[in-house]
Amino acid sequence: MSLKDSWLDRTNCDAKVDGIALNRLLPGTYAYVDRPAGPHHLTATQILFPGETVLDFNTEPGKTYFFSIKPSERSRAMQGGAIMFGLVGAGVMAAASAGADNKGPVDLVPLQESQARTAMAELLQAE
């Protein structure tokens, strides 16, 4: 997530890797965790958002993996409903988008190392 992203692409979330909570991810920040090679479970949530983003992936020894977060389509739909019609609109859009592939607030987008290093140079480590 970059400070250069449009405001529509900025979001925040609380993330966990294998049940270990990361520092809260806010626009313009990044977090990291050191995990052994093998299968891993990444989740992301937001306060008051009715769903969880889940990503299961495998890592190889000696490799570094990078993910960017973007608002999910469901999140965008709910925000649009809330902007137009308040809490009722958010509720209607939550129900209407309940069948989405990603029921969570964010999309976890894998990045190549070169992309990630460039983005991290302009971000702050989450505290």
pLDDT in tens, the chain (127 residues): 444 455 445 678 899 999 999 988 888 788 889 999 999 999 999 988 888 999 999 999 999 999 988 888 877 776 665 666 666 655 656 666 666 677 788 888 899 999 998 888 888 777 6
Q: Tell me whether residue 87 is in a domain.
A: no
Residue 5 DSSP one-character state:
S
Angle at CA 110, nearest 5°, toward 116 and 43?
Answer: 115
Q: Which amino acid is at 56?
A: D
Considering its fold, how many domains does the chain have in total?
A: 1
Query: How high is the pLDDT of residue 3?
Result: 44
Q: Tell me whether residue 33 is in a domain.
A: yes
Q: Tell me whether residue 101 is in a domain.
A: no
Q: What predicted TM-score, i.e. pTM, was given to this entire model?
A: 0.74
Q: Tell me whether residue 64 is in a domain.
A: yes
Q: Which residue, among 18, 80, 69, has the nearest Cα to 46 in the 3D structure? A: 69
Q: Tell me whether residue 115 is in a domain.
A: yes
Q: Which residue, among 10, 121, 6, has the nearest Cα to 66 in the 3D structure? A: 121
Q: Tell me whether residue 17 is in a domain.
A: yes
**Structural domain of 15:** 7-70+108-125
Query: How high is the pLDDT of residue 98?
Result: 65
Q: Tell me whether residue 77 is in a domain.
A: no
Query: How high is the pLDDT of residue 41?
Result: 97
Q: Tell me whether residue 85 is in a domain.
A: no
